[in-house]
Amino acid sequence: MLPQEIIRRKRDGQVLSGEQIRQFVAGIADDSIGDGQIGAFAMAVFLNGMNADEAVALTTTIRDSGEVLDWRGLDLPGPVLDKHSTGGVGDVVSLVLGPWVAACGGHVPMISGRGLGHTGGTLDKLESIPGYDVSPDNATFRRLVRDAGVAIIGQTGNLATADKRFYSIRDVTATVESIPLIVASILGKKLACGLEALVMDVKAGSGAFMPTDAASRELAEAIVTVANGAGTPTTALLTDMNQVLASCAGNALEVHEATTLLTGERHDGRLFEVTRTLAVEMLLAGGLADSREAALERLDSALSSGAAAERFERMVAGLGGPGDFLAHRERYLPQAPIVRAVHANQPGHVQAMDTRALGMAVVELGGGRLKSGATIDHAVGLAHVAAIGEAVDSERPLALVHARTEADAERAAQQIHDTFVISDSRATPPTLVHDVIRPITHAGEAI
């Protein structure tokens, strides 16, 4: 069928067949379909949506437009598992979760991304570690997944090749915010990693990617429906992003906090609890535990024995970082020259915060990108960020600003003051895990 006829069908609200979708995506991948037609198709989907069968067909076709990783030749002794997050502020879950699950018998080939807008990027965090190579050759990647059980790297150009062109056109045609297109973009790349199971971490709240809690839930349900329809068992957790997940935000600062969890120096806090809950789901999905209690016991043992930390250090060394990183992280991680405490104007309790604004404050300090390709300052950010419900006064600041210059610190301090809502009464901290979404058949229904 001609591309314009496929566009016409979707424009008129008709259901596309799997073959029609495969034909159109093939045209995106081989450049036989023009940018204008791709933009028109994206707008037709944006306006009319897709049912579950269409969304599965779009996702699997994008997945199959490039290389699909195959791990069978390595004779791995455990399942190939992964987690993906929609992104947030202080979300350094991957650095703890990957090694932790690997220490429990999983194999985690985690393809991660860079910071986008107010959200931090896993690759940017890892590049705080001197020598860490986020773009290794394929042999190194596969060896680490086999031997260390985990490798966190950037996307190769051979995975889901149609998505790069499709997304770039969506970005300039105001069609990014379409659930079927978001799902196909996320899962097309993730499922190309040859996973046996996937756990999604979909954020909800003031620092989330989606604008409302209802939209976050809709996205989570669509991801679970489509991924399972595509043959990859998938569960989604709807987790809170109404405050910074770690107690800090900024690349090196977050890496440092992640290592305190891996080494057992800390075993509490929001980051720990969300990571532990996601890890339980991964162990259950991979058949590495037959109950939540068994999963928790296995996870706690892997942490207390040092096995999780050892997997992290093997990954770091295997990708070019220091072999003694955990023992000497203060020496290796960059540190900002200026650290300033920012106190509330009056004592009280943190009632709320604009988490997105805090993420943008880190970006403006230099910890993120204001334009594509910009250099990141890995040392800057916010530390010891006060939590919702916590008392703040002349002793307990709202946060510590880590900055490159006094002017940067002053600007960030003002942004922090504008971000926090302080009250005499103590607010109840938000629930960390709002819901767990498991597969339900929705064949033929719109998503």
Active site residue 84: yes
Active site residue 85: yes
Which member of 189, 298, 311, 329 is catalytic?
A: 189
**Lowest-pLDDT choice from 2-11, 151-160, 273-282, 422-431:** 151-160
**Average of per-residue pLDDT across 256-277:** 95
Active site residue 22: no
Active site residue 185: yes
Q: What is the pLDDT of residue 136?
A: 95
**Average of per-residue pLDDT across 296-314:** 98
User: Domains, the chain, ranges and CATH?
Assistant: 72-158+191-328 (3.40.1030.10), 335-423 (3.90.1170.30)
Q: What is the pLDDT of residue 209?
A: 85
Q: Is the pTM of this model over 0.75?
A: yes
Give the integer Cα–Cα distance in Å for 369 and 142.
30
Give the integer Cα–Cα distance in Å for 430 and 409.
29
Q: What is the pLDDT of residue 87?
A: 87
Q: What is the pLDDT of residue 177?
A: 87
Q: What is the pLDDT of residue 118?
A: 81
Which member of 60, 85, 119, 128 is catalytic?
A: 85
Q: What is the pLDDT of residue 439?
A: 87
Q: What is the pLDDT of residue 443?
A: 54
Which member of 84, 203, 276, 329 is catalytic?
A: 84
**Average of per-residue pLDDT across 237-246:** 97
Q: What is the pLDDT of residue 440?
A: 76
Active site residue 168: no
Q: What is the mean pLDDT of the chain?
A: 95
Indicate whether 327 pLDDT > 90: yes
Which member of 119, 122, 128, 178 is catalytic?
A: 122
- Return the exposure string of 377-386: e unless at least 16 CB atoms fall within 10 Å of the residue's CB, then b: bbbbbbbebb
Indicate whether 343 pLDDT > 60: yes
Active site residue 83: yes
**Average of per-residue pLDDT across 161-176:** 91
Which member of 64, 82, 124, 408 is catalytic?
A: 82
**Average of per-residue pLDDT across 286-310:** 97
447, 226 contact by CB (below 8 A)? yes
129, 332 contact by CB (below 8 A)? yes
Indicate whether 133 pLDDT > 70: yes
Which member of 185, 206, 275, 355 is catalytic?
A: 185
Active site residue 112: no
* Phi-psi label, residue 249: left if phi above 0, alpha if psi -120 to 50, beta otherwise: beta
Which member of 61, 64, 65, 83 is catalytic?
A: 83
Active site residue 394: no
**Average of per-residue pLDDT across 91-110:** 97
> 253 falls in which pLDDT band (50, 70, 90)?
very high
Which member of 190, 203, 270, 311 is catalytic?
A: 190
